[in-house]
Structure 1
Amino acid sequence: MINDFSKIYTFMEIVKERSFSKASKTLGISQPAVTLQIKKLEEILQATLIMRKKNGIILTREGEKFYKLCLRFESAMFRFKDEISHIKNDKAPLIISTTQLIGETFMPLLLDKISQTANAELDIRIKEQNDLIPHLKDRRSDIAIVLDQSYDENLIVKKLFDYEIVLVSNKKLADSIKPEDLYKYKLIKDRTKYYLNDIFVKYGINYNDLKSAYVLEGSIMVKRAILNNFAEDYVAFLPKFLIEDHLKNERLFEIKINRIKLTRSVYVAALKENEDLLNSFLKIKNSFNF
């Protein structure tokens, strides 16, 4: 049994630095001491974790498994430190994790309503979509606002709202088009719009095969790009709420696609043990009118 957590921190530092000597400098202990800690750790686990090579270290299969466990331990410690720092206040902040799109658009408008409804201070954290559920399950957040429904027996997931996605252009090109006309245009693509392919495949369109001028990380970057680049005629799929003002002042132009209306759902998730907290949060649901 591992009772001395310093061995775990030493192991993780070696993996991070890919070197025993660099880890010893970071930790402020001698290299023989680092080596001895890993030797004792391997004896406890009865497994070889690390193999030294000329250009650094590599993890064995057991080492890889142990490292994944260490990451879970580290995340639990982060949450422990968060909560213990608020122990004098008797009330920890409500930690909400979400994507950049939700975090930069909706959340700033609703901070007071969420705080008053939950009767707590708020700590809003921006994460990659794929990290939201793992952070929630590791208890690094209390609530996650996600763009994909997650099916997990340990979670409660409820729909928060839907929003419309529209095709827009940087110049006035057409009021409406057929789905197959999409192949004529150059798109500024959002790397995260993988779900569009599932929609368009029903109409015989492969979204991945559409011509792309640029591929960017998310909707906010795409919005900025299409508003500021005019070398060619560009189109892009964007959340309508994100560009409504630009449609009104004709800096961008909506192109309707015959027979197709694109919507995406936003969900809120929490561990089952936090069902009351989730239901409290959902009282703000009517504030999302998009």
Structure 2
Amino acid sequence: MRANHHQFVAFAYVVREGSFSAAAIRLGVTQSAVTQHVAKLEKQVGSKLLLRGREGISLTRTGQEFYDLADRMVTLDSEINERLEGFEAMARGHIKVIANAPLPALKAISVFRKTYPDVEIDFALYAWTTATRLLRERRADVGLITDPPKADDWERVPVQTTHYVAYLLPSSPLASRDLLYFKDLEQETIILPENGSLTERIVREAQDKYGIQFQRTIKMTTFPLMCEAVFQGAGIAIFLGNSGLISHGLVEVPVSELSETHEIAVVAPKDRARLRLVKAFIDIASSSDFR
């Protein structure tokens, strides 16, 4: 017996949604049906495709290969349905957006929501390494990524440019400076994003280049948490400039050793970029009005 279309669809949605129960809701079927489809597919393949653990599901190496094929099938199905339904398909639907910096993504989501109020949006913020991996593995429809790697099968549209700054309390003795140097920050407590972030990597490379190491650092998971830590007097944060409204009330000062300009781009797998909802999001995020 050959694997059938329903089995591939169920498998793709389990991976995309992160669980069997969420896949069942998205597909409008019972969780038992999804479980049976995936089990039958694994039996046909002759190998485990998914590993179940306390933190959810993960793909085996074989599972990743089959997911790539299954997700392309689901994407093609979606494109065909859009053609059949016409623009009515854009009145509803679902889009999964990820980003490594909050403000550009949230601004695009806000405009998109006003245009397509009935579309369900899933948004998550990740470290740069995780965000790019999820896009590469087709776990999201579209992402707003700083300096995304070049890939032949990605649609990549520039959105804006930015640079790194230090976020300080207005009461800090350094807040009145027009420019800071690493030597000014050497004895300060520096708040950085978690390991795997673009910021953490760039700061580490700059420290190696200029031979200056910060004496104390604190790693935080998200930019809002970093800003809250600055407000609480925990230290000085380094992150991309103008990254979120939560930083209002803090002072942004450029850092000499981090003066390089970085590009934020909206990125999607090329086949998904042809889907009308994804294309609409890309158009909104890259429009001159949005910038």
Who wins on radius of gyration, i.e. which is larger?
1
Q: Separation in 1 of the partners of 2:7 and 2:268?
A: 33
Q: Map 1:177-192 to 2 at 5 A.
A: 177-191=180-194, 192=197
| Alpha-carbon spacing, 1:77–1:226, altered in 2? closer, same or farther (3 Å) | farther
1:116-155, Cα deviation, whole Å (9 max, x unpaired): 9xxx9765432434345654774852x4322232221222
Matches within 5 A, 1:197-236: 197-206=204-213, 209-212=214-217, 214-227=218-231, 229-230=232-233, 234-236=235-237
Q: Helix, strand or coil: the match of 2:60?
A: helix
2:244 is equivalent to residue 239 of structure 1: no
What is residue 287 of structure 2 aligned with on the other side?
A: 285
Deviation at 1:69, TM superposition (A): 3.5
How many Å apart are 1:184 and its aligned residue? 0.5
**Change beyond 3 A, Cα 1:162–1:122:** farther
Percent of aligned pairs with the same amino acid: 12
Q: Residues 105 and 173 of structure 1: is their aligned pair in 2 closer, same or farther, counting only changes over 3 Å?
A: farther
Please give the alpha-carbon distance, in whole angstroms, between the structure 2 residues aligned to 1:131 and 1:246. Answer: 22
SS state at 2:163 partner: strand
1:65 alignment partner, one of 36, 56, 61: 61
Contact 1:166–1:240 under 8 Å retained in 2:
yes
Counterpart code for 1:267: A
Please say if residues 172 and 253 of structure 1, whose CA atoms lie closer than 8 Å, have aligned partners that are also in contact: no
Q: How does 1:1-290 map to 2 (within 5 A)?
A: 2-4=2-4, 27=32, 44-45=44-45, 49=47, 64-72=60-68, 75=71, 89-91=85-87, 92-93=89-90, 95=95, 97-99=97-99, 101-102=102-103, 105-111=106-112, 115=115, 124-127=121-124, 128=126, 129=128, 130-131=130-131, 134-135=134-135, 138=138, 141=141, 143-170=142-169, 171-174=171-174, 175-176=176-177, 177-191=180-194, 192=197, 193=199, 194-206=201-213, 209-212=214-217, 214-227=218-231, 229-230=232-233, 234-242=235-243, 251-258=249-256, 260-261=258-259, 263-272=261-270, 274=273, 277=279, 281=283, 284-289=286-291
Give the aligned residue type for 2:236. Answer: V
CA distance in 1, matches of 2:42, 2:161: 50
Q: TM-score, normalized by length of structure 1?
A: 0.60
| Distance change (3 Å), C-alpha of 1:134 and 1:6 | same
TM-score by length of 2: 0.59
Q: Write out per-residue CA displacement over residues 162-217 of structure 1, whole angstroms, 9 at most, x where no aligned residue.
A: 123321223322234432232210022222222333344433335xx5511x3211
* Contact 2:193/2:226 (8 A) holds in 1: yes
CA RMSD across the alignment: 4.9
C-alpha displacement of 1:279: 11
C-alpha contact (below 8 Å) 1:190/1:219 kept by paired residues: yes
Number of aligned residue pairs: give it: 245
- Where does structure 1 lack aligned partners over 5 or more consecutive residues? 18-25, 51-55, 57-62
